[in-house]
Chain A
Amino acid sequence: MAAKAADFLVYDEVAGVYRENPEQAVRDDVEKHAWRHVGMTILKDWRLYLMLVPMLLVFLLWRYLPMYELLGCFKVPDEVLPVADQYFSGFSYFKSLLVGTDAPDFWRALRNTFLLSFYGLCFGFPMPIILALFFNEIRSNLVRSTCQVLTYLPKFMSTVVMTSLVTMLVKQGAITSGYGIISQALASLGIISQEVATAGLLNNPDFFRAIYQISGIWEGAGYDSIVYFAAIIAISPTSYEAAQIDGAGKMSQMRYVVLPGILSTVVIMLITRIGALLNIGYEKVLLLYNPTTYVTADVVSTFAQRKGLEGGQKGLAAAAEMMNNVVSMLLVISANTIARKASDTSLY
């Protein structure tokens, strides 16, 4: 600290007193001017900074202020008091979620979140790549663009319309009506039994993950193939010709020309996907699940929605989601860092 004080005060040996350090005064002045400089720049350019204001306000009010409400996961809930004044309850919610009374449900939700994403990675991820490879085989422009337009189509449907269609197509049978057309088809092919079809596939926990993945592929595979298709058509035709002259068949061309050409895109997409492993959309699950399928369908965000918005345990729900989101954020950041190291391209 003594060294620091010497910056501001110097000992005047003639008068025998401490005086202000003249150099420090100059430094202070520069600092003051730096801020004045900032002020002047903003004033001179006020239109530019004014343009920034609405966007910053929207993000501040409706993206950052909710993060302040996250304090609620350490507090005893209270209807009247604002979150900052509520009583501190320590880590009781976290304890309850991890080892206490809510632990079975929470771990189940966490497991389901991970598994739904993981199966999506295994089945949903390769589909667009395969589609793009097939698109590339079709030389007729008319056939190809027709196929492309048809496969992008489901992406335009809202989650509500999509899930309503799915619900209707596999719906349970009733006294007055039969079951959904897809259940009917599966039952007549012998894939599922009549009883299962009559009970409704969405009421059967064994089928939830399959329905979720298949409807996901139906909805997104065509649209996601655009990126890969763009990468494939960017490969120079001379590469194929060279390979053909060297005697490469179709499979060897795939292996040595197409695959290296799209590899960087695939890697980026894969890393992004891995980063988003715990980041699953709540809307689709919320619209497809019901109490009979919680075993396989309940994910962390729907768990939080049920506990917090319907059950009134807001602190508990906030704590559950916060744990999920923090881990998710770490995953995204590390995935992004790996992507940047591996290929000089990253998302942010």
Chain B
Amino acid sequence: MKRKLETSEMIFKVISYTLLCFFALACLYPFVYAISASISGAHAVDYCEVVLFPKDVQFDAFARMFNDNMFWNSYSNTLFLTFYGTIWSLLTSILGAYALSKKRLLFRRFFNFFLVFTMLFSAGLVPQYLNYLDTKAVFNAVGITDDKWLVVIAMGMAAMNIILLRNAFEGVPSEIEEAAIVDGATEFQVLRKVYIPMCKSTIATVTLFFAISRWNGYFWARQMISNSNEHPLQVFIRLKLEEYTDPEQMAGWNEVFSSDSVIYALIVCSIVPILIIYPFIQKYFAKGVNAGGVKE
């Protein structure tokens, strides 16, 4: 039996459909515009003739980007930072969260407070900067001159992610662990064979959070990495933006493509990898938000 929709219901439905579609398109539009503008001709971009679809199609802006060695360099640096940074953060977090999830751990309350306090109070930019400078000096002294390792090891830890993992580990029934111990498993084996497989989806979510924050990291990478060959993509984009929006530097610009197109091309290049993997990972993203929202 189908109930007839009431007028108020109809109106509400129409409003929601319209506004939602409008908002969804508004979310998408800047990306579509960026793609169109990156492959349009100089005159079309400079005089706002590109609105949705590209005009006077050219690929020279992309070619210019691809011919730039620094671009590929920064891309590989970002991959390096994301790969090793995620592994390092994940490793320390999983081990620490596992220990914290055990009721028998002595001083458990103190260790928990130790973590949570860093979420409540941070020393601020300047003390952190001085601290990273000291770390850099120590790293250089032991022979690690590549500043990327400093970014990988010293930055990107998040107490929230550890708490997410800890809560997931606490949810594993202790009988399974006891069974494994009776079978003669050591602590590390219990973690690897029981806990990690049972908390796969939380670990996937946390991995995603770490990877995204590593991929997107900008400020400290710019502050701490002194060699411009080691800069990650985000820093490269920003430096290019600063260079290409400076009217003085762009005064003699005379190409078939606009200087804006280069920036748009860069933006497109940096979001394409994310767009490709986005459909596969977005459900973990949604899961993490619900798990991380409220704690008991």
Contacts and interface: CB of A to CB of B under 8 A. Distances in A.
A250 B100 contact: no
A283 B125 CA distance: 11
B106 A41 contact: yes
Contact of A69 (B105, B111, B127, B237): B127
Given A63-B157, A66-B130, A54 B92 contact: yes
Contact of B135 (A62, A131, A158, A226): A62
B59 interface: no
A249 B6 contact: yes
B187 A48 contact: yes
B237 A160 contact: yes
Interface string B260-294: 10011011001100100011001001100110011
Q: Is the interface of B mostly helix, strand, loop or mixed?
A: helix
Interface string B83-102: 00000000111011111101
B275 to A, nearest CB: 8
A47 B218 contact: no
A30 interface: no
Q: Chain A: interface residue count, which band?
A: 35 or more
A244 B235 CA distance: 56
A150 interface: yes
Contacts of B188: 47
Interface stretch (A15-23, A104-112, A115-123, A178-186): A178-186
A321 B128 CA distance: 12
A185 B98 CA distance: 54
A83 B120 CA distance: 24
A48 B285 CA distance: 30
A78 B274 CA distance: 45
A318 B124 contact: yes
A176 interface: yes
A201 to B, nearest CB: 13
Interface stretch (B27-35, B60-68, B141-149): B27-35
Nearest to B115: A59
B238 to A, nearest CB: 5
Residue among B157, B215, B216 with the highest chain A CB neighbour number at 10 A: B216
B26 A52 contact: no
Given A65-B131, A251-B8, A321 B102 contact: no
Contact of B274 (A146, A156, A251, A332): A156
Contacts of A329: 120-121
A114 to B, nearest CB: 17
A158 B241 CA distance: 15
A227 interface: yes
Contacts of B294: 265, 268, 345, 347
Given A66-B123, A69-B123, A59 B118 contact: yes
Interface stretch (A1-9, A95-103, A134-142): A134-142
B271 A184 contact: no
Contacts, number: 282
B282 A134 contact: no
Nearest to B237: A160
A333 B267 contact: no
Contacts of A283: 218-219
Contacts of B212: 156
Contacts of B130: 66, 69, 72, 83, 314
A150 B23 CA distance: 9
Contacts of B170: none
Interface string B231-274: 00011011001000101001101000011100110110011001
A51 interface: yes
17 contacts: A47-B187, A48-B99, A48-B105, A51-B187, A61-B135, A63-B122, A67-B121, A161-B267, A164-B241, A167-B241, A176-B46, A176-B253, A226-B289, A304-B126, A308-B125, A309-B126, A325-B122
Given A55-B92, A153-B31, 8 more contacts: A47-B187, A48-B102, A52-B95, A67-B121, A69-B128, A161-B234, A164-B238, A308-B126
Interface of A: 38, 41-42, 45, 47-49, 51-52, 54-56, 58-59, 61-70, 72, 83, 131, 133-135, 137-138, 143, 146-147, 149-161, 164-165, 167-169, 171, 174-179, 181, 184, 218, 221-224, 226-227, 230, 244, 249-251, 265, 268-269, 282-283, 286-287, 301, 304-305, 308-309, 314, 317-318, 321-322, 324-326, 329, 332-333, 345-348
Interface of B: 3, 6, 8-9, 11-13, 16-17, 19-21, 23-28, 30-31, 33-34, 37, 45-48, 50-51, 91-93, 95-100, 102, 104-106, 111, 114-116, 118-132, 135, 153-155, 157, 159, 162, 186-188, 191, 212, 215-216, 218-219, 223, 234-235, 237-238, 241, 245, 247, 250-251, 253, 258-260, 263-264, 266-267, 270-271, 274, 278-279, 282, 285-286, 289-290, 293-296
Ranked 3 nearest A-B pairs via Cβ: A55-B96, A321-B124, A158-B216
